[in-house]
Amino acid sequence: MTNASPDLARRADELRRQLAYHAYRYHVLDAPLISDAAYDSLYRELRDLETEHPDLVTPDSPTQRVGGAPVEGFRKVRHPAPMLSLDNAFSVEEVRAWGERMRRLVGDVPMDFVVEPKMDGLTVVLHYTDGVFTLGATRGNGIEGEDVTANLRTLPGVPLRIPVDVNADTPAPPTLVVRGEVLMHKDAFARLNASRVAEGLEPYANPRNTAAGALRQLDPRITATRPLTLYTYAVVVGPRLRSQWEALEYLQTMGFPVNSDSKHADNLNDAIAIAEEWLARKASLNYDADGIVLKVNSFALQEELGVVGSAPRSAIAFKPAPQEGVTVLQRIAVNVGRTGVVTPQALMDPVRIGGVTVSQATLHNADYIAERDIREGDTVVLKRAGDVIPQVLRAVVELRPPDAQPWHMPPTCPSCGEPLVRLPGEAATYCVNAACPAQLRRHVEHFAGRGAMDIVGLGEKIVAQVVDAGLVHDVADLYHLKEGREALLTLEGFAEKKVDNLLAAIEASKDRPLARLLFALGIQHVGSTIAETLARQFGAIDALMAASLAEVQGIAGLGPQIAESVVDYFANPRNREVIARLKAAGVRTADAHAEAPKDGHLAGQTFVLTGRLPNMTRDEAKSRIESRGGRVTDSVTRKTTYVVAGEEPGSKLDKARQLGVAVLDEAGLLRLLEG
């Protein structure tokens, strides 16, 4: 590798400027000027230049967004100005009273306003020196926060150099410090959870906590995989500006994302009208917010109005009347779901909240209860999250009974009595017994489902009937239903033909491939792709059951969490008994050990599938890729050759763009398959 020539240096600089601008058009303005393929081509050219000539790499290069090595902890950062809190108003009358208080202080002077959503995310402070992003910190206690610069660099909406627009007339100041909010859009959160569920992982609780957790990861590479969004709203240090509206316009000029729901109002009446209109559609927005902020626009007037306590007089948060109530939590019960997740449930004295009587609420997991020190007998504050889902916010400690004890997750499953398990690094607690009665219905539904053993006719209603009648105690019992044919005929809605069809469908499912069986067993974290990887590697369920943790961990694409889950599942005697009975019933538990052909024209190329393809299923796409020598994996890495993106793609598409991996649609994949 040699030092780059001036021509190469100029080309690298031009590529950086173009990529930054097109990323701004795509992520901030939602108005791209070039195709994904064209962007990918520019990115690869820059990446190749920097690989060949490391002296060309600069801190603001788009190639440097990808997270670096993990850190041991976050250092503290003192903010250049303290962050104040806001007073709240819960009615139009209270907003008008706030306006009158300001009038009494400054007199009858013209007063216009800016109305901005109070986004429910994580507040961050971004520092720029000579136009280059140098430091990013969380809000912390308002005086000092944590240095999360490496994590913020991975967000596509965070400019690494300003101004982003290469044609901007306004140069970057020597020092600029801005405030913003990092959040996760609702649709991105839904896609992320859908992807996790498809892989057998537990969904995250809500967008706000997920965004906060992602931004505070010690490993920036994890942050880079999360679909986080930035909105900026304040200039803390920078050029002299006259008003808040001018500040928002300046931020946009520099290339920072600003929430398009922020509006200017000529007077308080107009500001209230804008706020009421926004509150009326708050539930339909693609981001979470807990109110809307009304600010005096003029900075001179803001300074004249000053601060009372820790809140500026010139701003107020207008919020809908809180949907909260207070009641007594009588007991904490635990429910067991299909995947074995054990969820604590608050059983409370009935209370009316927002016109609905509530007597139960989820408590999520043991950590949620411990962090809030919620105990049986406590008086608790309850909220209908999103005006729908009941959620216990906190306990009123002052009213706690003297004999109330801290709550702990029971050591054994309340349904089957088997020991409960909590895997390292997870908040959830599991019952790993496949024959657990509480899990049985949902487990049988999953086993018989289309992506698993595909037992036609064995849907939710029939599963409930055969389980409730005591004919099925685990999935192996399905293959012995023919011995209880007469008992089936006694069930409601069952006649000779229906029974014959069901038994024939069960018999036909015995010859499903090993990967289908492994997926059907419902092993925690084992989705269809992981199941196929295990089937290819071991070829038979006996070999997999005999494998050590080290052997399973050594398989490409399997992390330690998945490997531990697989080994723990097969170490459970009850699970091994179910598998033995499946084998005895004639269910296929071994495949011919077939690897993907190595001489196809896609040999050596790795694909990741995301989203819904218009004309073929994922299984079909995977099969066609592998028949030509390609390999399909779950995770997007630097070694991924192509990401195939259909409708409603998940976070894998975002990561592909961050890593510069080529993206294909279905038509592009078909052309590639045809050579």
- The residues assigned a catalytic role are 118
Structure tokens, 615: 């004309």
Structure tokens, 105: 């202080």
CA distance 330 to 336: 20
Sort 424 into a burial class: Cβ within 10 Å, 0-12 / 13-18 / 19+.
exposed
DSSP state of 342: E
Buried (b) or exposed (e) across 652-669, using 16+ Cβ within 10 A? Answer: bbbbbbbbbbbbbbbeeb
CA distance 429 to 341: 6
Buried (b) or exposed (e) across 602-626, using 16+ Cβ within 10 A? Answer: beebbbbbbbebeeeebeebbeebb
Structure tokens, 267: 């007077």
298: CB partners within 8 A, 6+ apart = 111, 112, 242, 243
CA distance 510 to 507: 6
541: CB partners within 8 A, 6+ apart = 514, 517, 518, 579, 583, 589, 590
Instruction: Please compute, for residue 99, the number of CA atoms within 13 A of its CA located in the half-sphere on the CB side.
Output: 20
Structure tokens, 395: 């306990």
CA trace torsion 651, 653, 659, 661 (10° rounding)? 150
483: CB partners within 8 A, 6+ apart = none
Count CB atoms within 10 A of the CB of residue 600.
17
CA distance 365 to 332: 11
List 394's β-bridge partners, or say none: 381
